[in-house]
Structures are given as structure tokens and as C-alpha cells.
Chains A and B, each alone.
Chain A
Amino acid sequence: GNSVTQMEGPVTLSEEAFLTINCTYTATGYPSLFWYVQYPGEGLQLLLKATKADDKGSNKGFEATYRKETTSFHLEKGSVQVSDSAVYFCALSERGGGNKLTFGTGTQLKVEL
């Protein structure tokens, strides 16, 4: 079956530090890959996505590249802000079955001044 593994948190960084949150996946076919973010008290929001190998998703300064050879989709940001503090979820979906999402366990990011 499909699965997503992401690094455990919490990750604590100082403002303007570089961020990497690792994500690897197992899938039977060729999935689409996503990063969702959950701010305190809010619902999950799509941050970025990539639908095929070597695609790079980007949004709000965050980037992730679909690496088929390493089955990875690591999230990066060059300079984090306090407002980026949230829980980040890596997820995948495969064609068929409505494209239901399989999520990782989430990584909490705390950014301090």
C-alpha cells in the first residue's frame, strides 16, 4: 500500500534560518505529491504540489522537488518567518478512487525571534 514518511518534530528555528523538512514515500504507481500546512485553529491548506517526476512545486517562498529516483519530496524555505509556525503534512495521491490522499504524520515547525 501507499505510505508517506516525514521527519519528526518539533523543529525549532530562529527567524531567517533555512528550513528543510524531509519526506519520502512509497507508492505502487506514479503519485502526485503535496505539502499541506495547518495553522493553529485552522483547517488544512494546500501549500504546494507536484504531479510528475522532476516537477518543482513552489508557493510563499517554499519549494519542493519531486524526486522519483529517491522517492522524496523534501520541503525547503530559504528564510523562515515567525508566521510560518505551523504543522506541515506531506501527502500523496494516486489516480483512481477519487485521488484520496495518504498523509504523513506531520512535522511541527516553531520559528522564534
Chain B
Amino acid sequence: GAGVSQSPRYKVAKRGQDVALRCDPISGHVSLFWYQQALGQGPEFLTYFQNEAQLDKSGLPSDRFFAERPEGSVSTLKIQRTQQEDSAVYLCASSLDAGNIQYFGAGTRLSVL
């Protein structure tokens, strides 16, 4: 596709459920980022991949959050045992390589009830 694609666009989960959020980056983009955007706030960095290697996961808020990119293309952000404070928009971005412009997907809005 032409841009970064994220699915689902909306996800409602009951507290305690596990969720998986998918990101399809722009074809050929080496770098991939996940951000969390709480309501009324700016996006906050979660984690970064260079190809399949997760080089920075310093922004993941707890060990319930896990991200992977096994073949260096599609990435999945998994949240285990969701809590209400996990409710946010999760944004994925990709760039040609580190230091290049990041292109963002439309995001997945997660609501934990």
C-alpha cells in the first residue's frame, strides 16, 4: 500500500483481556516505531525496530507490553491483561532508515472497559 496501515482501527477490550495491534509499514522501510497517544496528549515513544531487531524498548510502560517484527516488515504490539490506563491511540510509524522522516499510520484506538 501507499502508506502505513494499522488494524484494527478501533478495539474495545474488557479489563484483563489480551489484545494484539497490527502495523504494516511502507514497503522497504527499515525503521519502525510504536507510540502511545493518550487523550489530549502528544504521542509518546514506546519502542523502535531496525529491520527485525528491537533496538529500543525503553518506552514500554510495563512488562505487559510486548512488540515484535519477526520478518522485518509487519509488526505487532501485544498488550497482556489490559488495564483501563492502557486506553489510548496506538500509533505506528515507519521510515526509510534511522534519521529519515517518519510516516504515521492512522492509529488504533484502544478502549479498555
Contact = CB atoms under 8 A, between A and B. Distances in A.
20 contacts: A4-B42, A36-B104, A42-B106, A43-B105, A44-B93, A44-B104, A46-B101, A46-B103, A89-B43, A97-B56, A98-B31, A98-B33, A98-B50, A98-B55, A100-B33, A100-B59, A101-B43, A101-B45, A101-B102, A105-B40
A95 B106 contact: no
Contacts of B55: 97-98
Nearest to B47: A100
B21 to A, nearest CB: 14
Interface of B: 3-4, 31, 33, 35, 40-45, 48, 50, 55-56, 59, 91, 93, 95, 98-107
B91 to A, nearest CB: 7
Contacts of B107: 43
Given A43-B105, A105-B41, A99 B99 contact: yes
B42 A49 contact: no
Interface string A1-22: 0001000000000000000000
